[in-house]
Every structure is written in C-alpha cells, then in structure tokens.
Amino acid sequence: MNTRSIFTKSLFSICLLLGTVGCSSSTSDSGDDTKSEVISDETSATATDEVVEISVIIGQTSGSAIAYQATLGSTVRLKILNPDADDEFHLHGYDLDGGVTPAGQEAIIEFMADKLGTFDLESHVTGEWILTLVVEE
C-alpha cells in the first residue's frame, strides 16, 4: 500500500505540473492576441491616410436622402457649391461650418472623421439638409 500511495502522489504531482505548463501556454497565446491588436492598430493607422472627397452642388446632387460614407480616422473633404445664392453650411455633430460662401464659389470643409455615427450637413441660409455623412469603422 505504501508503494501505491507514493505512485498516486507522484501521478498527482505530474498532473499538477502538466496543468501548470498548460496554463502558461495560454498566457503566451494572449501575447499573440497583443500582436493581433497591434496589427489592427496598424490597419486603422492606414485608414487615416484615406481621403474621402465629397462634391455637392445645391439643387443638383444635394438632399437629405443622399448619404455618403467615410471610414473612422479618414480625412473628409466636403466641397459644396451653391450656384444660385450666397450660402453657409454647417456639419452637425462636428460643429463645423464653411462660413458664408458667395454664389457660384465652392465652400470646402475638411476634417478628420474621428466620431462614429450619422451627421447631417445643413444650409444655414435655407435650413435644408444637404447630405448625410455616415462614419463607420
């Protein structure tokens, strides 16, 4: 019985040791997760190099039903032209405006899309929605 007791204790110790080694390999797997996070950070960093250029002519390519998409972290350049009247444009959510732009001249609003969501561009002169910008990951 003494030999059996020693054998049982040895087997138990070996199982504990193997279990500990198994747990430590899980820890190294989480190190691989960190590498995945770094890769995804690099991916979003390249997204910041993206420029989304949106050109709108009031009365021709404008309206609240028109939606444009941008990627989070990209640069968005809105080019807005009102051929018939002086106008002022405002992008809700980002609180950006292009100032008063004379009729026939292009207003440019440029910014980094650093907020997720849906944002409306409005004319301060007419109060009309010009377009909807959707920023997604």
Contact 85, 105 (CB under 8 A): no
Is residue 34 located within the same domain as residue 55? no
Is residue 95 located within the same domain as residue 113? yes
Contact 114, 100 (CB under 8 A): no
The count of structural domains within the chain is: 2
pLDDT at position 49 is 86
pLDDT at position 48 is 65
At 88, list the tokens: 């002022």
For the chain, percent of residues with pLDDT exceeding 90: 58
The structure's pTM equals: 0.64
Is residue 77 located within the same domain as residue 42? no
Is residue 60 located within the same domain as residue 91? yes
Is residue 37 located within the same domain as residue 67? no
Contact 86, 123 (CB under 8 A): no
Full domain range(s) for residue 30:
1-47
Q: Which residues of the chain register pLDDT less than 70?
A: 1-48
Number of CB atoms found within 10 A of residue 101's CB: 19
Contact 106, 81 (CB under 8 A): yes
3-class secondary structure, 37:
helix
Place of tokens 């204790």: 9
